[in-house]
Structure 1
Amino acid sequence: MTDAKRIRVALVDDQALFRAGVRMLIQSQDDLEFVGEAGDGREGVALAATARPDVILMDIRMPVLDGIAATEAIIMEAGRTGWEPRVLILTTFDLDESAARAIRSGASGFVLKDAEPEFLLAAIRTVHAGNAVIAASATRELFEHFAPQAPTLLVPPSYDSLTAREREIFLLAARGLSNAEIAASEFLSEATVKTHISRILGKLELRDRVQLVVFAFEHRIVE
């Protein structure tokens, strides 16, 4: 496989031994390319800017700059340049407040640091393909439990551009329903639902279904 087709992966974590293990794991895969590592969030932001990885594995708790702030900085820079990285959070706690904050900051999902190597590899490939690692229903659970006091944002004009059918699909997806569940409840094919979801994400300038749930939560569209 040529380098041009490989998924470029960077790692930001303050534990050298952990970095070494992940580096070897990624380098063992024909379709992945390890493009660099950093030991704190500030170094991670600089690494991301120079290496331009496709997927960034980001620890949350680090010195100098934590993973949440680093994720925000990377996503902001990406928005200015048209670069579209996926940030995959590495955490030791499932469904905790830090994970919720990281998702709001722009991460496409999170993986437990003690996950099986095969799961981490699958997660990298999943987010690179434009999908979220954490299910939309789990995202909703995160925000209901850990971010109930978040301020309500004004609904942007882009939401008004959704058709009536797209709004119906949006509300179902925001509640955590899968494509199959939406298809069954609305008497549609899964392919049609997928098309609607793609159009909704495009109109609202969202990356994936996780960001759709965040959008719905922050604008109090789904209560």
Structure 2
Amino acid sequence: MRANSYWPNGQSWKRYWPGSIVSLIAVLQLFVSFFIVGLHIAILVIGLVSLCAVFKSWYVMGFICWGFFMTCWISIFCVSCCNRSSVACATYVMITNVLAFIFAAVLISFDSKFINGQLSADSVTSSLDCITSYQSTVNMSSIFLGITKGQLAGSVFILVSSLVFIAIYIYVYIRAVFDDEHTPNDNLRWTGQNAPNQALGYGMST
């Protein structure tokens, strides 16, 4: 009798694994992650140079989150291109997507707090130390806000794409385990039937 297993085999996993969709998620995460870090560098430069506003936790956390975003899409590329039938590799990628989901939520929280005026700067010096006119200050503040909204949109995409990958993993895992449990082995296949040798006249008792 076949023993129940909660860990699918590679063939069943590969049968249900949507390689094209997963590869598309990796490509999109690649571009969006670089888009996010580019905007975050702009936020850092404008904040320090033009606005003289220091948001230490936000500035540092943005690069930490980007590191997890990078790890996420790189791991997806690896499992998509090299080892589609490995359940262990897919499980590792699922864990990296969970981490990317968490840190995307953290970055969304920072961006939202700044947009809503709930994120206070650690230190704000006189605008004369950075820029010479009030009009320039207003312009840079609006640009700073727009860049922050762009980073917020990118973080939301990372969060949603990671959630999609997690959903795909759960779906494939359930289908693969279900497939393994309902696929008969060789012994069950011949139960109640003549064995191949007996059908040919071999192995008969004298």
Shorter-normalised TM range? under 0.3
Name the structure with the higher strand share: 1
Name the structure with the higher helix share: 2
TM-score, length-scaled by structure 2: 0.22
Larger RCO: 1 or 2 (CA < 8 Å, sep 6+): 2
TM-score, length-scaled by structure 1: 0.20
Look at both structures and tell me which one has the larger radius of gyration over its CA atoms. 2
